[in-house]
Amino acid sequence: MTEPRSPAAGESSDTRLFEMEVEHAGAYVERVDAVLRCAPSAEGNHPFPEYDLGLQAHVMRALRATGGVPVPEVLFLEEDPSVLGVPFLIMRAVAGDAPLDRPSYQAEGFYHEGARALREHVWSGTVEALAQLHALDWRALGAGVVPGSRPGDDPARVSLDYWSRYLRDFLKEEPEEPVAVFDEAHAFLVQERPAPSRLALCWGDAKLGNVLYAPGARDVAAVIDWEMAIIGDPIADLASLHLSDLRAQDFGQVTMDGTPTADELVALYERASGLPVENFHYNLVFATFWRGAVQIAVTRQMRRRGVEIPDVMFVDNFPMNQLRRLLSLPGPGGPR
């Protein structure tokens, strides 16, 4: 086994690349390029109250069995923290590159440097993979493991219930603490929640940065990071994909030709899925709400550990400004 090394991306868990030898039933030994993915340690940032590597392993194994969506092969899952100090899983490495969040792929890297046709290919391939995922039988894939498929779950509302608890119990210091913009957004999400016309296994953390694109043509080589997999409204994934790209545009201060607008992205998905997109605005508010809640929760953790963070970062930031725009709320410093 070689010395593990860090990849270019991977924020919510400890990820390392290495080479290892795998013995196949005593018949032969294979040298494998592998990825070690660990649950977050106690010393690091904790974007989520709990971290379920077993969920990720289940989803990737189930998807590989269908052959419909390319995902890494899970080689080992160890949920006993006594081995490395935290649970971990080992996957076979996939040749490919993920567009980076920092620095923004809109400003640097293969997405920025490629031709318009390459960027259009990246988006069409990603949306096709998303449509293929949503077309699969979620009941078989969920198998009582994925939230929304567990006994007693209501898949139509399990995602909103989770993020309601996240705001109340994880982001806030106390359940009744007021948090500007997020309280208003949460009230909107509860009051305006539509009944989805269909349910699907959702990727959860849908963004270009969670896809490995093969060298050369940049076909989708693997869809990665299934830590937020859930049964729910598939349009939530589409909205998350768009919102995460808006964040990349904001961070990089540039939008490259070939990047779809919201309407163009919806049209791509409708062509790929053969189904109409409904409730996109609601799901865009939802995606902005949960991504922003994670950002604020992590930023608060950093401040508690002594990192100097200006107060303005908690009231004037990308997700909060997006929510203000989407919900017609006053700007930072305005009346609540």
Residue 290 binned pLDDT confidence (cut-offs 50, 70, 90): very high
* Residue 174 CB contacts under 8 Å (≥ 6 apart), including other chains: none
pLDDT of residue 229: 97
189 occurs within a structural domain: yes
201 occurs within a structural domain: yes
pLDDT at 267 > cutoff 50: yes
pLDDT of residue 331: 82
Q: What is the dihedral of CA 113, 223, 166, 88, to 10 degrees?
A: -110
Phi, psi of 90 (to 5 degrees): -120, 130
pLDDT at 196 > cutoff 70: yes
Average pLDDT over residues 138-157: 95
CATH code (residue 153) = 3.90.1200.10
Average pLDDT over residues 276-288: 98
N residues, the chain: 336
The share of the chain scoring above pLDDT 90, in percent, equals 80
Average pLDDT over residues 220-241: 97
Token pair recorded at residue 55? 């969920």
Q: Quote the domain boundaries for residue 207.
A: 94-336
307 alpha carbon, distance to own chain's centre: 26
pLDDT of residue 233: 98
146 occurs within a structural domain: yes
Token pair recorded at residue 314? 């908690």
Count: domains in the chain: 1
Using only the alpha carbons of the chain, give its radius of gyration.
20
243 occurs within a structural domain: yes
* Residue 149 CB contacts under 8 Å (≥ 6 apart), including other chains: 138, 139, 142, 143, 155, 231
pLDDT at 11 > cutoff 50: no
Render the burial of 197-219: b for 16+ CB within 10 Å, e for the rest.
eebbbbbbbbbbbbbbbbeeebe
Residue 252 binned pLDDT confidence (cut-offs 50, 70, 90): very high
158 occurs within a structural domain: yes
pLDDT of residue 116: 98
Mean pLDDT of the chain: 92
Taking the CB of residue 288, how many other CB atoms lie within 10 A of it? 28
Please tell me the distance from the alpha carbon of residue 251 to that of residue 13, in angstroms, as a whole number: 22
204 occurs within a structural domain: yes
Cα distances from 286 to residues 197, 201, 210, 275, in angstroms, run 17, 17, 19, 21
The share of the chain scoring above pLDDT 70, in percent, equals 93
**pTM for the full model?**
0.93
Please tell me the distance from the alpha carbon of residue 69 to that of residue 277, in angstroms, as a whole number: 21
55 occurs within a structural domain: no
308 occurs within a structural domain: yes
pLDDT at 2 > cutoff 70: no
3-state SS track over the chain: CCCCECCCCCCCCEEEEEEEEEEECCCEEEEEEEEEEECCCCCCCCCCCCCCHHHHHHHHHHHHHHCCCCCCCEEEEECCCCCCCCCEEEEECCCCECCCCCCCCCCCCHHHHCCHHHHHHHHHHHHHHHHHHHHCCHHHHHCCCCCCCCCCCCCCCHHHHHHHHHHHHHHCCCCCCCCCCHHHHHHHHHHCCCCCCCCEEECCCCCHHHEEECCCCCCEEEECCCCCCEEECCHHHHHHHHHHHHHHHHHHCCCCCCCCCHHHHHHHHHHHHCCCCCCHHHHHHHHHHHHHHHHHHHHHHHHHCCCCCCHHHHCCCHHHHHHHHHHCCCCCCCCC
